[in-house]
Structure 1
Amino acid sequence: MPRRLSVTVETFELAQAFTIARGSKREARVVVAHLEDGAHHGLGECVPYARYGESAEGVVAAIETVRASVENGLSRKELRIAMRPGAARNALDCALWDLEAKTAGRSVASMIGENVLRPIDTAYTISLGSPEEMAAATKAAADRSLLKVKVGGGEGDIERIRAVRSQSGGARLILDANEGWTEDTIRPNMLAAAEAGAVLVEQPLPSDRDGILAHIPHPVPICADESLHVSNDLAGLIDRYDYVNIKLDKTGGLTEALSLMQAAREAGFGVMVGCMVSSSLAMAPAVLLAQGADLVDLDGPLLMKTDRPHGLLYEGSTVAPPSPLLWG
């Protein structure tokens, strides 16, 4: 039976401003692909990211270029060839997984060999701000076991790191600079991270200026985010990074993300599974991927005022596997 594809752009208001080194926002704008075959439907959500030259309008336009092929039965394997990695392919890839699972009467988890899904611990994000603001936000979240702390705001990161540590209640800390450090600041900031007992520093330098990471000590493991999109990127990260952050909006879907995770393990990298700020629909396939991760950062819905119906269930720092009513 022929498929029918529809695409919508949706906006979710955030509970408060979300600020990183590149700027601040108060809403999450997502694109949702909806595939139907008459009896079943599949959904996939993506987040267009300006850092990678994406917009909601551009993602919708990219999806439209493959509409006919998708409606005529394009497979996930063929989709990886037909579209470049990124948000548009992610929405379609996840919709195809969801549709395939529902058509087959089984779960996506069983299709990828994860027959028993477990709840997982996720980080909770502390937005970039003044040391005092970040200390207060950390104190309010000190009951959580893992905090992802946004830094990279120019001067003052050492003070921010110390302020957060003072209020963290023993939580593990991931410091995420979003490419905001420089060759001049990385050494003192890394020492401050080590002093604070951080477990990871994420993407400290711009992706096109990270060569220095191969020549300086790593007193705290360093994780690639903006420097990593797909499996072919891994070879260039060896000796620079210790971990990689896999996000479906970068890989272009769960299909490539599964391949990337396996390749990263074979290359000796630790693995984090992360997300953009988005609803539970975007988190659901990432929760499946995160079953095999060392660290997980899937708190997108916690940053929103409201989530989707049948959204993921969060209890403290723990997120439960998705309901079939949501995805998969």
Structure 2
Amino acid sequence: MTSHQSPLALSAHIENLPLKQPFHITGYTFTECDALIVTLHDGEFTGRGEGLGVYYRHDTPISMLRQIEALRDIVEGGVTREQLLSLLPAGGARNALDCALWDLEARRRNTPVWKLAGMSEPRPLLTTYTLSADDPDVVESTARQLHGARAIKLKLTNDHLNAERVRAVRAACPDAWLMVDANQGFTRETLRSVLPALVEAGVSVIEQPFPFGYEAWLDGFDCPIPFAADESVQDRTDLSKLVGRVEVINIKLDKCGGLTAGLALAREASELGFQLMVGNMGGSSWSMGPAFVLGSLCSVVDLDGPMFISIDRDPGVSYRDGRVWCPDEVWGGPHTVTV
């Protein structure tokens, strides 16, 4: 699958996306997110990509914008997605540019991205609805407002309230599939102390309990709940160290550097026996669109980013009955965009 090569006009800018309310995870509180928007014009067609970057790696929209501008002449001269893999490192800049190339090719060839990628026709995907690591009473109140949620992802953090948070969610949503995400916030001791509450609440997955670089803490840890890796797996080079340690790999396009790399990571992870999860770093429907394509390969889908921002794209992805749906006209469809 090689993108059509012809002169392009590149534009790139940063957009601020305020959140509806503060969002808490281990070590961070977010009130807004900035997104890098990359647009490619060839005179007749337009392709777009959006990248948030990887905040804990200092991969910011400002640094991403510099990376894109440094490649302006090469991109405008015509670049393929395969060439991009060697021109930029894994991260948000490559993600935004790679997704813009996919979107542009879909419009040029009048063929949706999912078909270009050799995927089956998409269907609505069951997605998690994410809860911030707030006080337990706030967590329960928020959970009760998640009308239609059938799967929930609860953020936990490095304090003494985690067991109460889990119980609060289970009280509010007794039938929902539940996973928890520590964002590297546990030690072996703190995980061991909260584990009985997780088991009692029927938690199905524990995501990234330990810090990046401390994957050996997973060795010999007696846990009946499967582990998922997020921060510990940035791209394909991280897979080998996780074999036998985790069951699920969380693929985020901002981490691995685009849909092209994400599909390759999914194939390799599957061959190694991992279950697949698709996640997001936040953002609008323009970030969810390419991740939605990848989501067709995944057993766990976490694509609720637009639910947290004040204003989304129009048209945008939709959420109904606990599922996310991305029509072709949102991103990656065979429709010309007028700008």
Partner in structure 2 of residue 265 of structure 1:
270
Give the Cα–Cα distance (whole angstroms) in 2 for the partners of residues 271 and 115 of structure 1: 17
Q: Deviations over 1:255-279 (max 9, x none)?
A: 0100111111111111110111100
2:320 aligned with 1:306, yes or no? no
Give the Cα–Cα distance (whole angstroms) in 2 for the partners of residues 126 and 179 of structure 1: 17
2:286 aligned with 1:281, yes or no? yes
CA contact (8 A) 1:85 1:230 kept: yes
Partner in structure 1 of residue 337 of structure 2:
none
Question: How far is 1:153 from its partner?
Answer: 3.4
2:51 aligned to 37, 46, 55, which one?
46
Give the Cα–Cα distance (whole angstroms) in 2 for the partners of residues 98 and 202 of structure 1: 31
2:320 aligned with 1:315, yes or no? yes
CA contact (8 A) 1:34 1:42 kept: yes
Instruction: Name the aligned partner's letter for residue 20 of structure 2.
Output: A
Partner in structure 1 of residue 138 of structure 2:
133
Give the Cα–Cα distance (whole angstroms) in 1 for the partners of residues 298 and 120 of structure 2: 16
2:247 aligned with 1:224, yes or no? no
Question: How far is 1:130 from its partner?
Answer: 1.1
Give the Cα–Cα distance (whole angstroms) in 1 for the partners of residues 151 and 74 of structure 2: 43
| Residue pairs, 1:1-328, within 5 angstroms | 1-141=6-146, 143-328=148-333
Give the Cα–Cα distance (whole angstroms) in 2 for the partners of residues 77 and 323 of structure 1: 23
Q: What SS does the aligned partner of 1:184 have?
A: helix
Give the Cα–Cα distance (whole angstroms) in 1 for the partners of residues 167 and 320 of structure 2: 28
Q: What SS does the aligned partner of 1:245 have?
A: strand
Aligned residues: 328
Give the Cα–Cα distance (whole angstroms) in 1 for the partners of residues 217 and 199 of structure 2: 18
Structure 2 residue runs of 5 or longer lacking an equivalent are 1-5, 334-339
> Over aligned residues, Cα RMSD in angstroms?
1.3
Question: How far is 1:317 from its partner?
Answer: 1.1
Q: What SS does the aligned partner of 1:292 have?
A: coil
Question: How far is 1:99 from its partner?
Answer: 0.9
Q: Deviations over 1:124-176 (max 9, x none)?
A: 01111111111111122264100010002322212221222121231111101
Q: Deviations over 1:285-326 (max 9, x none)?
A: 110100110010000111122101111121131111333254
Give the Cα–Cα distance (whole angstroms) in 2 for the partners of residues 318 and 46 of structure 1: 23
Structure 1 residue runs of 5 or longer lacking an equivalent are none
The alpha-carbon distance between structure 1 residues 43 and 198, as it changes in their structure 2 partners (threshold 3 A), is same
Percentage of pairs with the same residue: 37
Q: Deviations over 1:202-242 (max 9, x none)?
A: 00010111211121123110000000011121101012111
Displacement over 4 Å in runs of 4+: none
Give the Cα–Cα distance (whole angstroms) in 1 for the partners of residues 151 and 98 of structure 2: 30
